[in-house]
Chains A and B, each alone.
Chain A
């Protein structure tokens, strides 16, 4: 409860920090914030051109298939990359001013969520433009979003705190993320590997489940797998709580260790 009371008292700091995370990264560039939307689009463009050449048979409407995978993935990867370093890159204020340290990871993940919510407009535009259309199933979208938010938040809590003590965390995380890109059904459908030796990866990778759920509601126009959703909810909430406790445990040494 202390957490929520602190967050309420320091809401202005949270707000301005979120704003800074969103705007600050691209400050000074000509297109500014637009870059956070152009980047995933360019990625989609590259894969949409290259992949049909490599893989003979891609799924129908591959362009939209890609968009539905890449945009949530971009949310995840930007939040992770920014999040792991967040305590370190704010060393200046962490050492000199008291404020609830949780603000730092939370504002990174919230800013990612805001970006992602805006990006869903892109998904909608592609849904309409490619003829895939929209169905009532998108009412599940907020739930999946929240689950992804909690998962990212838990990871960022833990990793940003550990990164203060072991600086390698940043590099290890960035390696794992680039591996994860291939271990998550973004460029392909997980069903293509069902029964193969690496099929287990999609069962233990919560992000794979999340992407599957997005695909279900946007691409396949289905009710998402509710059992999977329940499992996912348990995983995400657990990760979030454990991450928070790791952060609380380590935060007392931040000013000394940075």
Chain B
């Protein structure tokens, strides 16, 4: 093993036995002799990877891609079927918060239990216990049984123990997603501090902002294979592109087979309902529309009259909110729309003007629609104009 590496993975393969109905008793085994109801599924294929000492590396990939399995292999909970995985230096992993906690014992006792699982001696724990308690922000609760803790307190305690173990290699699996904002920030700051002191950190996470923020490198695992390894910004952008593509294909398949429905969503940000406008002024219309239909059409009408001259704009906020549903289907540049209806186009004599946005799919079915009423008032009463 190379001395500058903390983790060395060479041509690693990992299979899982998938059993349809696992025969666990002797009777079932005897009955099922000769019948094989297990299938071997390859979770990781030919992974080779070096993680250097002091690097902060993120493993990214969708659920089931094998990234957590890789982390478990690094922890030595699982062992490879072929290939090797070597580590150098004291290693701590946090795969699940509070694994090994005993609900009936106090927080303090559990610190001793849990830190002992990580291989610390009593003396070493005694030295760290004040830091652990302080970081967990538990105060007097530390001497209460942990079954009385809120889930936030539980998590804070578990995290606080793991990062105070003083390991040279820290493996974290999707655990920073829990907890309130304040504690999350604190954890990230602490990770950055650990990073500065030269620790090796491997994170499995779905929060890509975190990856960009604290990692030096991102490794993308795609369907059990190492797809890309490099600068986080580049890897994430490629990953997202692939993700959008896969998502689109998956959904198209589902739509075809009838499992999923074509849907869409349209919204008007402005004007808001019952906005008063002064007679003689125009209306500014702004909103967004999304759909997973192969083709879709937006129709904007003001008082029954159709307008086609709206302009498109990018709406990152909307995309983010809907990325699970519409990822890969929409053109990011055509999510938002804007239209200004001049005063002369508005009917002068009506008090209520209906602004309506409707989304049609390729078969001319209505996917979604939204309408608001705008009130035309005489001078002096208005509160929104162009």
Residues of A within 8 A of B (CB): 9-13, 15-16, 20, 27-28, 92-99, 166-168, 252-253, 255-256
Contacts and interface: CB of A to CB of B under 8 A. Distances in A.
B96 interface: yes
A166 B26 contact: yes
B116 A92 contact: no
B116 A12 contact: yes
Given A13-B116, A16-B113, A97-B117, A168 B77 contact: no
Given A96-B99, A97-B93, 6 more contacts: A11-B121, A92-B100, A96-B100, A97-B75, A167-B24, A168-B25
A252 B73 CA distance: 11
Contacts of B201: none
A13 B120 CA distance: 8
Given A27-B104, A168-B26, A256-B16, A95 B116 contact: no
Interface in B66-105: 72, 75-79, 91, 93, 95-96, 99-100, 102, 104
A98 B25 contact: no
Most buried by A among B26, B78, B95, B117: B117
**Which bucket holds chain B's interface residue count?**
20 to 34
Nearest to A103: B117
Contacts of A9: 119
B16 A98 contact: no
B95 A12 contact: no
18 contacts: A9-B119, A12-B116, A12-B121, A12-B122, A13-B119, A20-B113, A27-B104, A93-B100, A96-B100, A97-B93, A97-B99, A98-B75, A98-B77, A99-B117, A166-B26, A168-B26, A255-B78, A256-B17
Contacts of B79: 252-253
A63 B29 CA distance: 46
B200 to A, nearest CB: 16
Contacts of A97: 75, 77, 93, 95, 99-100, 117-118
Given A96-B77, A96-B96, A98-B76, A10 B116 contact: yes
A213 to B, nearest CB: 35
B25 A99 contact: no
B112 interface: yes
B125 interface: yes
Contacts of B104: 27-28
Interface in B1-34: 16-17, 24-26, 29
A187 to B, nearest CB: 31
A167 B27 CA distance: 11
B120 to A, nearest CB: 6
A252 B79 CA distance: 6
A168 B172 CA distance: 36
Given A16-B116, A98-B75, A98-B76, A92 B99 contact: yes
Nearest to B100: A93
Nearest to A9: B119
Contacts of B112: 12, 16
B121 A255 contact: no
B77 A167 contact: no
Contacts of A255: 72, 77-78
B127 to A, nearest CB: 13
Contact of A98 (B91, B102, B122): B91
A166 B121 contact: no
Nearest to B22: A257
B24 A93 contact: no
A205 to B, nearest CB: 24
Nearest to B114: A97
Rank and list the top 5 A-B pairs by shortest CB-CB distance, nearest first. A96-B99, A13-B116, A12-B116, A93-B100, A168-B26
Interface in B166-192: none
Given A16-B112, A166-B26, A168-B25, A96 B119 contact: no
B242 to A, nearest CB: 29
Contacts of B76: 98
Contacts of B122: 12, 15
B299 to A, nearest CB: 54
A96 B95 contact: yes
A168 B78 CA distance: 24
Contacts of A16: 112-113, 116
A97 to B, nearest CB: 5
A13 B112 CA distance: 9
B341 to A, nearest CB: 61
A93 B101 CA distance: 9
Contacts of B91: 98
Nearest to A99: B117
Nearest to B17: A256
Most buried by A among B16, B72, B96, B119: B119
Interface in B303-345: none
B83 to A, nearest CB: 14
Contacts of B24: 166-167
Interface in B284-317: none
